[in-house]
Amino acid sequence: MKTIIEPFRIKSVEPIRMTTPQERKTLIRDAQYNLFGLHSQDVLIDLLTDSGTGAMSSAQWAAIMHGDESYAGSPSFLRFEAAVKNLMPFEHIIPTHQGRAAENILFSIFGGPGKNIPSNTHFDTTRGNIEASGAAGHDLVIDEGHDPECLHPFKGNMDLAKLETYLDEHGDSVPCVMLTITNNAGGGQPVSLANIRATAELAHRFGKPFFIDGCRFAENAWFIKQREDDQKDRSIPDITRDCFRVADGMTMSAKKDAFGNIGGWLALNDDDLAVEARTHLIRTEGFPTYGGLAGRDLEALAQGLSEIVDEDYLHYRVRTNEYIVERLDALGVPVVKPAGGHAVFIDARKWLGHIPPLEYPGQALAVALYELGGIRSCEIGTVMFGRHPDGSETPAAMDLVRLAIPRRTYTQSHADYIIEVFEELVKIKDSLTGYRISKEPKIMRHFTCQFEPLAG
């Protein structure tokens, strides 16, 4: 059959509250044109993020009832720990309330003034935690990763030549090497198993520990199975284990590929680092057998990890994005190709070429998608990455708009509606205008900054 159906039935539904374009124009103005400022009831299709917004399965909800809320030594922790270790064979699994808490702990150990931390592309919270420690983060993704049209199968790969030069030049100031799979900020593009291994090898040759930001490990493993020749007959759990086997630790947001509404973890092999990390954990998150989570959350994550590696799920998941990408491409909307694992990315800088990067074409597109169709998306461009610690502002590498697809939440007709909103946008896109930022915090401004539309 050509149609790849949603591999689940719906047992419980949440109504969507309908709004009109006229209402939405007022609502977004009242939110100072920041999509993060909207009430979610005022959104028809919420593609702001795929983080914690997925639908849990009936088995996960059932597992929640098994949650043991003991302060120390909960069996829920042991089930969670076993589920993580089954896929990611690390010595120490340290639960946290989100991925960023794991990052905070990791960079409280490895960060600090004068330190330099390379990655293919650091995600915004990762960069935020690195910079808050006084260290600097650098993105060394392959050049193809910056070209939205290039059809390279693994556009999230680390540029190994750049990394080698970087490690040569920065020497002792580099405490560790990171790799984000899939590369969220770079379009949800995967990293090959060969590249993961080569990055680990290079890091270790220079005596640096190697850490994976594994938020979308299952989607990444699916792409490895589809696109890496010698991997196509292997199971997703086997590929996953091979990805993490070469690493010294990982950070994880369980709100992504663990089907959680909340959660995360830090994993480490080194015993001394684990002592340091757990000490920090007790101070900021909680006792090491619950971290920042309830026992019931740990149960839901343990179950979620067994569901996320299901090939029928991953097939449907990635196909949804490809379907939207194919149709937007046919409409002439410049999209990042190939489709990413968790989201569809539109090249707003190219599509709205009349709006210069420092007038935020991504923001202009995101606001228009909301006003016209009630779709909430996220700018991943100059608003998110343009402001630097020294106060200067420059255009980001790309101005993208991300339509992040929550896991198991929307159906084919929602996808068709999204495409239809773009059909309408094609007609008015040249009339869209840019924005200026009227108020912003010191770091990670995109969450809370305020915008004013510029006159057309």
Binding region for ligand PLP (CB under 6 A): 51, 98-100, 123, 125-126, 180, 184, 213, 215, 253, 255-256, 264
Is residue 409 within 8 A of residue 53, CB to CB? The reply is yes
CB of 436 vs ligand PLP, minimal distance in Å: 28
CB of 411 vs ligand PLP, minimal distance in Å: 24
CB of 325 vs ligand PLP, minimal distance in Å: 20
CB-wise, 130 or 355, nearer to ligand PLP?
130
CB of 425 vs ligand PLP, minimal distance in Å: 26
CB of 18 vs ligand PLP, minimal distance in Å: 29
Residue the block writes with tokens 């198993």: 193
CB of 190 vs ligand PLP, minimal distance in Å: 13
3-state DSSP call for residue 383? helix
Is residue 257 within 8 A of residue 213, CB to CB? The reply is no
> Residues 385, 388, 394, CA angle at the centre, nearest 5°?
65
CB-wise, 42 or 213, nearer to ligand PLP?
213
Tokens of 328: 């937007």
**356 preceded by cis ω (within 30°)?**
no
CA gap 289, 98 in Å, rounded: 15
Tokens of 232: 């196509």
DSSP 129: H
Is residue 162 within 8 A of residue 197, CB to CB? The reply is no
CB of 51 vs ligand PLP, minimal distance in Å: 5
Is residue 270 within 8 A of residue 248, CB to CB? The reply is yes
CA dihedral 49, 52, 53, 55 (to 10 degrees): 140
CB-wise, 124 or 276, nearer to ligand PLP?
124
Using the Cα atoms of residue 288, residue 289, residue 295 and residue 299 in order, give the sign of their dihedral: positive
CA gap 303, 263 in Å, rounded: 13
CB-wise, 341 or 386, nearer to ligand PLP?
341
CB of 444 vs ligand PLP, minimal distance in Å: 11
CB-wise, 364 or 383, nearer to ligand PLP?
383
CB-wise, 156 or 373, nearer to ligand PLP?
156
Residue 211 CB partners (closer than 8 Å, separation 6+): 106, 176, 177, 178, 179, 247, 248, 249, 250, 251
CB of 139 vs ligand PLP, minimal distance in Å: 12
What are the start-end ranges of the E strands in 40-132? 45-46, 92-96, 116-119
Instruction: Measure Cα distances from 381 to 291, 322, 349, 378 in Å.
Output: 33, 22, 9, 9
CB-wise, 125 or 422, nearer to ligand PLP?
125
CB of 258 vs ligand PLP, minimal distance in Å: 10
Binning the chain into helix, strand and coil, the percentages to the nearest 5 are 45, 15, 40
Is residue 76 within 8 A of residue 67, CB to CB? The reply is yes
CA gap 122, 139 in Å, rounded: 6
CB-wise, 327 or 407, nearer to ligand PLP?
407
CB-wise, 100 or 208, nearer to ligand PLP?
100
CB of 296 vs ligand PLP, minimal distance in Å: 18
CB-wise, 417 or 447, nearer to ligand PLP?
447
Is residue 352 within 8 A of residue 415, CB to CB? The reply is no
CB of 355 vs ligand PLP, minimal distance in Å: 27
CB-wise, 76 or 180, nearer to ligand PLP?
180
3-state DSSP call for residue 65? coil
**Alpha helices per DSSP H over 345-394:** 348-351, 361-373, 382-385
Bridge partners of residue 158, in order along the sequence = 141
Chain residue at closest Cβ approach to ligand PLP: 99
CB-wise, 214 or 373, nearer to ligand PLP?
214
DSSP 42: G
